[in-house]
Structure formats: structure tokens, C-alpha cells
Structure 1
Amino acid sequence: MAISRDDTVETEVEDDTFEYAHGTVMIFAWMVFASTAILFARYGRAIRFGSKDKFLGEKNWFQIHRLLACLTSVTTLLGFFLILVQTNAEWVRVDEGQTFVHSVLGGIIVCCALWQAWMALFRCHPDGSYRFIFNWLHRLTGSLAFFLSIPAIFIIVEQLGKNRTGMIIILSLWSIWVVCIVIILEVIQFFFRKISKKAVSQRYETEPSRIRAENDDGSATRSWNNLLLVLFSLHFVISIALAIPLIVLIWN
């Protein structure tokens, strides 16, 4: 018996590939690249690789920070274009609740990424009299975008029906880790500065004391540098280790 076309029921399945790709690049942008870039800018300014504190004529911390910040901006813009393709460039409606909130936060984050890139291209010389304006705007804009990215990810994950619990646990672990690494670095930096000031004050005493202070200061600097490298590497590895299963859960 033949079945007519009128008797067939066609079900159209929505393709969410671009939406999942959007989530993938945004997770890498803000969980991995942005967080590491901020840590290097805050705590890695004296970082050395061996005996060298410069690479290609610039400080090591700046080269790493700039690379990661550029990756953050590029992947953020890529994620923005991917979601535009998914939604056919239509903005989320206000009545869609938390999804609308996510879109607003995402829009602010994209604007911050563009603003950061523009400021970096036209920043004044480090010795310029108005350099402090760029420094503060750069810090505030980057911090705002990073802190907004956390609730933005949490909001959209909470909206997903499948694997929601696992994704929330992963995001919570990453958030706790970021708080812990910042506290650890702040404490270490505080004690390192205290030791450095004590060593500097001892240099103005007798000659043997001055030599001993310089040796102690050099040893403390190397220890601080090695500890920083370990912590930065640990943060990068943990961020990737948490980002990958989160991405896998998104696609499953």
C-alpha cells in the first residue's frame, strides 16, 4: 500500500552546531585565556625564564599577557559571530528571561573586548603624562569583562536541560580555584615585598651585611620566580582540564 505525502509527518530538528561552537570558544576565551592574562598582568611582572626577563625586546610578562589578551579578544569576537549565525542575527527577546540577561552580559563583554583592542592599538608611551589614564581604563575594562563572563556562563548553563548538574559543578570548581589562586598569589606577593624591603634596608649597613643581603635577596627572587612559574602553569593546566569536560558536556 502506497503512503501519500499528506500522511507523512516531517519533523524538523534544529541544528545547534553554531551555538555549541559559540560556547566552546567563549569557554576557552574566558576560562583559560582571559584568566591567565589577568594573573600575568597582576603577579607576573618580574617573571624570568632562566636569566632572561625579556623576549623579543619586551618584558616576558607583557609578551605573555599581550598574546593571551589578543587570543581572548579574537575568540570572543569569533564566538559573537557564531551566535549571530545561529540566530540569523536576531536579538534575544526580553520575555526570554535569563537567556536575555545572558545576551546583555555577552553584548557588554564583546564591547569591552573591542574597547580593549582599540585602547591597546592607540595607547600612549609608557612614560607619557597621561599613561595612568590608559592603565586604569585597561584594568577596569578587563576586570569588568572577566567578572561579567562568570555569571554569563553560569546563566546559560543553568538553562540547559541536559548535563546541567555536571556543568554547574565544573564551573563552580573553576570559580573556587580562581579565588584560591588569587589569594595564594596575594599572600606570596605580600611576603616577598616584605622580604625585599628588609633586604634593601640591610644594604646600607656594613659591607659583609650588604653582601649577605644581596645574596639573600637574589635567592628569594629566584624562589619567588620559580613559585610563580609553577602556579601560573598549574592555573593554565587546571583551567584547560576543567574547560575540556565542560565543552564535552555542552556538545553531548
Structure 2
Amino acid sequence: MNIFIAALLILSCISGIKCFSSENSSNICDEIKRQQRRADLSLCPSKFSVNISSSSYSVGEPIHIFIKTTALDTTFHGVHVVALDENHLQVGSWKMNAKKRDENSCNGSIYIFEKAITNTDAIWQVSTPVVGNIAIKIAIIEDDSAIYSNCYNFILTSRVSMNSSNIDVEDAAINTTTIVTTTTVTVTTPSPTADVTVNVTWSFASNTNITSVSMAIRNLKSSQWVAIGLGQNVAMGEAHVFMCKRLANDEIIINRYVNPGDHDPPERPQPDAGGVFTPGQQQFTDGVVVCRFTLSNFATQILKQVQTLEPLSQSRQYHPLIAMGVLDKDNNAEKHSADSRVAKSDTVQLNQNEVILYRIPEVKTDLTFVRTHGIIMIFTWILIVSTGALISRYFKTSWANKMICGKAAWFTAHRFLMSIAAILTTLGFLFILVFLQGTWVPNGTTRPYAHSITGVIVIGLAFFQPFIALFRCEPNSRYRSIFNYIHAFVGFSAFILSVATLYLATYFHVFADTKGRFVMIAWIAWVALIFLIFECSEYFIRKKNRESGYTNINTSNTTIADLIENSATPKLTSFTVDNHEETSVQRKSKNVLLAIHILVAATLSVILTTLIL
């Protein structure tokens, strides 16, 4: 028991919460300006993803910038946005569902959210014609001390340009002058690959260190190509390139290239480019081109760098680059057009399972099953299990005179609560199992993986605990103490692990902000305190009995309530025990403490569930 309380006290000291002051805008502005003067992209984090809806713009067309986190335990409090023309003047207007703070000295607009979020949509549009390209710059404000500027930049090309000129035409015959105004409208023709969509997925086999890649491409026509690049920066240029081609005869081939220079045409890789490229089975079915290949045999030693491009590595983070275009008569790739390429700001690794989408709208995940799983587990392990454990450990003597259905009241209450807990735990597990479609969380040193490991142990212990109870010995058996120790060890182990599992869950996106962690810290502190109070109460009762000379005739540690469980004990209509171990005041005090615990546990459970998005 002392180990249990010590573990809870240690857990109560664990916290990793970041704070944010919404009034600290001057410091935010200074940090943004400081970072804008540097160009070290290696400092840009991989836990955020910023994507833009289009690579070109026209007057009146809204451009969406999608900002989201890619790590389950990451949120942000604000963003800084700016759109600049080629003269570095701000153009267009912004819309965002957040409190705006105009900071002229920051060369843009700062938006602060009421609470930490995981995704948002910034909308920019221009209402008057603009000459040249537009630079969109996004800075993410994670908290007071973590601001990421100069990491998420985009260039928009003009889709429509308008040039007006006035031409004077004199009609001598009628001696009048007519002013003829002509307007020349130049419209950029969409590229032949404008309707191509790409879905790139790969899986990593840790036992063989092989990465299997699949490129599913829709609407790819004859003599066209699509390539996935793994770049070191958020820009088209230096990258390891894998190009899928649909030839004029509808043959599908996949090739590997490297692009060692800035926007140089890709070239065949050298043997020291990193890893072994093995083409798989290519197919073209129902309008969908599928290119497959594997990457394996990555050398552990440091390879020679390919000019400025480092050798391909499974453990390095890359920015995915997508491009597409047409093939010439020799099946060589011609340069892609401006509206047929994108450099994504989020990063990927070849030793992890990844999904990369291009021109495929992201489907919003329905989190109903996740919320249900969380609500069930919160009420089960904070309210029900803790109450059942307290009753079993501290109320055997207090409720010895009370019977329910011919069984001791403490035993009936404990059995009922723990049976409900086992059923609800299994049900909660089924909800998350259905949501994940039977798959397991990817292996790694992440909180979701740690949550899955501790969670499945808790579920296993909770599932088998009722079956262990079915094999308990008779109360007067000499083996009963062995059963009691095993039963208590399994139960308290599951309970301690449940605290860690719930705390890890408060870092997930389903929780609105860090308040969930505060609630769990409060729960850890309370459950440690209530067990400590009961332990002290039991200690003082035993000490008082020893000082008064009272000796418990039950030398086998079997209580009257235990004896009533014995099937050999005849059923009694009434049963009264003169309990010398506890006074009436002591029993009432323990009942009040139990009621307070139920109230606190229920309140914390309700608060925690309301924080789930």
C-alpha cells in the first residue's frame, strides 16, 4: 500500500505544461522581426503543417491557407500573416476566426485565439489588380517562447493580367474624334495535368528496414509524369526524386532521380545516393495509375554527399515535393508548369508510415468513437474503480453488520462496482478498436504509443480480474490470504496504470487545451490524499485498540463479513456484531470521507469530459 501511495505522489509531481500570455504582443512582434532576418530553415519544426489551396491567384478569388499541427501533443495560440507584392508592400485582406491585433511594426497582422487550437484556416484575397507575384508569409505562435517565422512561405503567381490602353481614332469624313478603349485580357491556360490527383503512401517494416512505397494517381494521361521528391527545404529544388511515367503506349514505369542543384533537371542517381531502389509491380486500372517501389539496404556508415544533396536516409526528415508534367517524344520529363507543383511544409520520414495527398481534399475525421472511449474510461477509472477499491480495503469492518442479499454490504458493493468497471472498460476498448479499424498505434517513442501500451495492460487486467475472483478460496481456507494478495496486486496495478494512461491522453488533440492536465494532476493529488487519510485512520484505530488491550479473536484476519460469504454459513434474517475495533464516530467519519471522495471524483470526471472536443 505504501508503494501505491508513493507512486501516486510521484505522478502528482509530473507536468509539462506551457503557458501563454495573450498580452505579450510586443515581445511576439520583436521575435517575429528577429526571425524574419534569418534564413536557417533547419530551425523550423516538423510539428506544424501549412498548406495553401492554390499556387496562383486572381482578383476576388479567396486563397485558403490551412494551418494544423502534426503531433498529437502540440497546439498553438496564434498566427502572424502577411501578403507582399514585388515591391514589398502589403496587399489584399485577411479573414480568420480569431481576435485580430494590428501590428504595423510587424509588417502584417497578428491573430490571437481565445484558447490553444490544433488547426485553423486563414483566408486571403485581393480586390484590385496587382502586378507580379505575391509572397505569402505565415508565422506560427505556439506560445510566448516558441514562435516560428520565416518557415512557411509561399509564392502566388498571377492567373489573370489586365492591360488597358486608349487609342485615338480620327474620322476625317465626319470631322469627329472617337475614343476607342480596348482591353486585352491574358488568361493563363491550365496545364495538361491540372486535374491530376496524387495519393502517396508508404509503410516501414522494422524487421527488414524496408520502406514500401505506393503512388496512386488519378487522371494521368498518356505521355505524362508525376514525381514525389524528398527535399531538404520547403522549396522545389534539391531533392531525391521518384518519377512515375505513363508512356504513349500506356506502359507504366517508375524511375529514380536526384536533383542536386537548384531547379536543375533531375539526373540518374550515383551508387552513393543512399539506399537501394527496387521497382515493384506497376498497373493502370480504371483510370488509376499505381506505381510501386521499395527502398532498402541503407548503409549505416556516412555516405559521400552528392554535391549539395545529402544521401537518402531513412531516419532523416524530408519535406515532400509533388510535381507533374508531360513527356517529350523520347519519354523524357519536360519541366512542370507553375500550377502543377507544391512543396509541403510538413516533414516525413522513410522509417515511419506516411500518407501524402495532393489535390485530394482532406476528409475530416469523425471523432465520436474517440470521445465515447474517453468518456467511458474517465468515469470508469476515476469514479467507479477508485470507489470500489476504497470500499474493499477500508470498509470490511465498518460495514460488517450490514447485509445486502445475504452477502456483506462491502462485498456486494465492491463486486457490483468492479463488475460494472470491467464491462465498461471492455466496451470503451471496443469503441477505440472500431475507430482504428483494428490497427495498432505506430511503434515509436510517442505519447500515443505509450498510451496504447499502458492502456492495453489496464484493459487486460480489468478483463481478467473478475475471472480471478471466481476462483477465490473459502474465507476460512489457509490459501485465502494468497488469493487476497494476488487480487489486490492485480487491482491496484491496473488502477495505478490507469492514472498514467489517462494523463497521457490529456496531451491528445481531442482535449481542447492544457486544462485537462491540470484536472489529472488534481485527481492524482486527491486520490493520493484520500488513500493516505484512510491509511492513517486505520493505523490510529489499530494503535488505539492495542493500547486499550483489545484483542481481535479473528486471528486469521477473516472478518465477520468474510465468514458470511461462506456457503456453509446458514442464511440469517438478522445478524448483529459488537464491533470493538471501531467506534460509531469513527465509522461515520469514514462514511463521510467516502461520500466526499465520490463527490470529488464525480466532479473531476465531469470537468475532464467537458474538455474533450
Q: TM-score range by the shorter chain?
A: 0.7 to 0.9
Q: Indicate the residue corresponding to 1:190 in structure 2.
A: 539
Q: Indicate the residue corresponding to 1:84 in structure 2.
A: 433
One-letter amino acid matched to 1:23? G
One-letter amino acid matched to 1:40? I
Alpha-carbon distance between aligned partners in 1 of 2:399 and 2:493, rounded to the nearest angstrom? 29
Q: Indicate the residue corresponding to 2:596 in structure 1.
A: 234
Alpha-carbon distance between aligned partners in 2 of 1:122 and 1:21, rounded to the nearest angstrom? 33
Given candidates 466, 470, 478, the residue that maps to 1:117 is 466
Are 2:451 and 1:102 equivalent residues in the alignment?
yes
Q: Indicate the residue corresponding to 1:46 in structure 2.
A: 397
Alignment of 1:90-169 (within 5 A): 90-95=439-444, 97-160=446-509, 162-169=511-518
One-letter amino acid matched to 1:26? M
- Per-residue CA deviation, residues 129-167 of structure 1 (Å, 9 max, x unaligned), is 322222111011001100001111111212337533111
One-letter amino acid matched to 1:181? I
**CA separation of 1:135/1:48 partners in 2, compared to 1, >3 Å: closer, same or farther?**
closer
**For structure 1, which runs of at least 5 residues remain unmatched after alignment?**
1-5, 203-216
The number of residues matched between the two structures is 230
Q: SS of the residue aligned with 1:160? A: coil
- Per-residue CA deviation, residues 111-139 of structure 1 (Å, 9 max, x unaligned), is 10122011112222222232222211101
Contact 2:541 2:581 in 1 (8 A): no
**CA separation of 1:235/1:18 partners in 2, compared to 1, >3 Å: closer, same or farther?**
same
Alpha-carbon distance between aligned partners in 2 of 1:115 and 1:238, rounded to the nearest angstrom? 28
**For structure 2, which runs of at least 5 residues remain unmatched after alignment?**
1-194, 197-358, 552-578
Q: SS of the residue aligned with 1:187? A: helix
Q: SS of the residue aligned with 1:164? A: coil
**CA separation of 1:151/1:61 partners in 2, compared to 1, >3 Å: closer, same or farther?**
same
Alpha-carbon distance between aligned partners in 2 of 1:162 and 1:240, rounded to the nearest angstrom? 19
Alignment of 1:167-206 (within 5 A): 167-201=516-550
**CA separation of 1:16/1:223 partners in 2, compared to 1, >3 Å: closer, same or farther?**
same
Q: Indicate the residue corresponding to 2:321 in structure 1.
A: none
- Per-residue CA deviation, residues 185-205 of structure 1 (Å, 9 max, x unaligned), is 111111112223333449xxx
Normalising by structure 1, report the TM-score.
0.84
Q: For structure 1, which segment, 119-128 or 226-235, has the greater mean C-alpha deviation from structure 2 after superposition?
A: 119-128
Contact 1:102 1:155 in 2 (8 A): yes
**CA separation of 1:162/1:118 partners in 2, compared to 1, >3 Å: closer, same or farther?**
closer
Alpha-carbon distance between aligned partners in 1 of 2:411 and 2:581, rounded to the nearest angstrom? 24
**CA separation of 1:101/1:137 partners in 2, compared to 1, >3 Å: closer, same or farther?**
same
Alpha-carbon distance between aligned partners in 2 of 1:168 and 1:159, rounded to the nearest angstrom? 11
One-letter amino acid matched to 2:583? T
Alpha-carbon distance between aligned partners in 1 of 2:483 and 2:392, rounded to the nearest angstrom? 14
One-letter amino acid matched to 2:391? F
Alpha-carbon distance between aligned partners in 1 of 2:509 and 2:542, rounded to the nearest angstrom? 46
- Per-residue CA deviation, residues 52-106 of structure 1 (Å, 9 max, x unaligned), is 4222221111111111111111111011111111101111110372111111111
**Deviation (angstroms), 1:11:** 4.1
Contact 2:380 2:424 in 1 (8 A): yes
Q: Indicate the residue corresponding to 1:30 in structure 2.
A: 381
Name the % identity. Answer: 31
**CA separation of 1:107/1:199 partners in 2, compared to 1, >3 Å: closer, same or farther?**
same
Decide which structure has greater strand share. Answer: 2
**CA separation of 1:55/1:159 partners in 2, compared to 1, >3 Å: closer, same or farther?**
same
Contact 2:382 2:601 in 1 (8 A): yes
- Per-residue CA deviation, residues 226-251 of structure 1 (Å, 9 max, x unaligned), is 0111001110110000100100111x
Alpha-carbon distance between aligned partners in 2 of 1:221 and 1:74, rounded to the nearest angstrom? 37
Q: Indicate the residue corresponding to 1:70 in structure 2.
A: 419
Contact 1:98 1:155 in 2 (8 A): yes
Note the aligned Cα RMSD (angstroms). 2.3
Alpha-carbon distance between aligned partners in 1 of 2:581 and 2:458, rounded to the nearest angstrom? 42
Alpha-carbon distance between aligned partners in 2 of 1:77 and 1:71, rounded to the nearest angstrom? 10
**CA separation of 1:161/1:15 partners in 2, compared to 1, >3 Å: closer, same or farther?**
closer
Decide which structure has greater helix share. Answer: 1
Contact 2:516 2:608 in 1 (8 A): yes
Normalising by structure 2, report the TM-score.
0.36
Are 2:580 and 1:247 equivalent residues in the alignment?
no
**CA separation of 1:158/1:85 partners in 2, compared to 1, >3 Å: closer, same or farther?**
same
**CA separation of 1:127/1:21 partners in 2, compared to 1, >3 Å: closer, same or farther?**
same
Alpha-carbon distance between aligned partners in 2 of 1:39 and 1:183, rounded to the nearest angstrom? 11
